[in-house]
């Protein structure tokens, strides 16, 4: 019968798969996932529980990112060049009894302020990515920690920023490229004129 050799082969494969996990040790554990739930919007993801990996070690570079801080400095909005916004915050104090965070979003219209999707985040979350932010719109994002009763909720940290419109970024990039090409052409023409004047024109 082929059943005993098959069972032996499966046991050998399972043992080989378990060895690297045992050798990895407790220090090789994956970082905790950030659970969040989007509510109050018209999108299909409203009310669904989602998970995302934390963006640990992210630093806002001057060329591809612009950081905006709340008045207290606890909430930072990193506006990236691709139009998305990465929010970052530190662990609140006190940490005992922390249940999570509530993130409220709104943006200015022509005559009034419109609400964005509200997000509920877990206590382990320290960042959140706002992937679909619109250009030339002023946003206001407020983060408020939530504690178990009877501890009251502390005041929310709010940050405001405006995204540069995508069309304006394209115009700036195009003008920079054209200006660089014109500078290269002018340098080439100057070198050519100097060469002609020095070598080809006969002295008077």
| pLDDT tens track for 36-91 | 998 865 444 457 788 988 888 888 887 888 899 998 888 999 998 888 899 999 88
Give the pTM.
0.61
Q: Does 90 reside within a domain?
A: yes
Which pair of tokens denotes residue 68? 């905006």
Per-residue model confidence (pLDDT) at position 78: 92
Q: Does 132 reside within a domain?
A: yes
Q: Does 24 reside within a domain?
A: no
Asked whether the beta carbons of 200 and 192 are under 8 A apart, the reply is: no
Q: Does 185 reside within a domain?
A: no
DSSP for 149-173, please give it. Answer: TTSPPPPPEEEEEEPPPHHHHHHHH
| pLDDT tens track for 145-171 | 999 888 887 888 999 988 776 544 455
Any idea which residue has 């905006």 for tokens? 68
Per-residue model confidence (pLDDT) at position 30: 53
Q: Does 48 reside within a domain?
A: yes
Which pair of tokens denotes residue 135? 């250009």
Specify the number of domains making up the chain. 1
CATH (domain of 61): 2.60.40.10
For 157-188, letters b (16+ CB in 10 Å) and e give: bbbbbebeeeeeeeeeeeeeeeeeeeeeeeee
- Asked if the bond preceding 55 is cis, omega within 30° of 0, the reply is no
Range of the domain at 56: 34-167
Tell me the β-bridge partners of 119. Answer: 38, 103
Q: Does 183 reside within a domain?
A: no
Region of 39 please: left (phi>0), alpha (psi -120 to 50) or beta: beta
| pLDDT tens track for 91-116 | 888 888 899 999 998 888 767 778 88
Q: Does 182 reside within a domain?
A: no
pLDDT at 137 > cutoff 60:
yes
Per-residue model confidence (pLDDT) at position 13: 36
Q: Does 198 reside within a domain?
A: no
């Amino acid at each position: 019968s082929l059943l005993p050799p098959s069972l032996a082969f499966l046991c050998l494969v399972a043992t080989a798969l378990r060895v690297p996990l045992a050798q990895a040790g407790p220090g090789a554990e994956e970082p905790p996932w950030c659970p969040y739930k989007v509510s109050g919007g018209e999108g299909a993801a409203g009310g669904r529980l989602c998970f995302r990996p934390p963006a640990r070690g992210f630093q806002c570079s001057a060329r591809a990112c612009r950081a905006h801080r709340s008045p207290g400095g606890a909430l930072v909005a990193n506006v990236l060049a691709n139009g998305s916004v990465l929010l970052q915050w530190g662990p609140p104090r006190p940490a005992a009894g922390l249940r999570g965070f509530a993130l409220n979003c709104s943006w200015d219209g022509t005559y009034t302020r419109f609400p964005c999707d509200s997000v509920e985040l877990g206590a382990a979350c320290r960042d959140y990515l706002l992937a679909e932010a619109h250009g030339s719109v002023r946003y206001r994002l407020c983060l408020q920690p939530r504690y178990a009763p009877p501890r009251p909720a502390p005041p929310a940290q709010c940050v405001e920023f405006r995204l540069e419109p995508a069309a304006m970024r394209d115009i700036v990039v195009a003008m920079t490229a054209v200006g660089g090409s014109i500078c290269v052409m002018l340098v080439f023409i100057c070198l050519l004129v100097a060469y002609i004047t020095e070598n080809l024109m006969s002295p008077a």
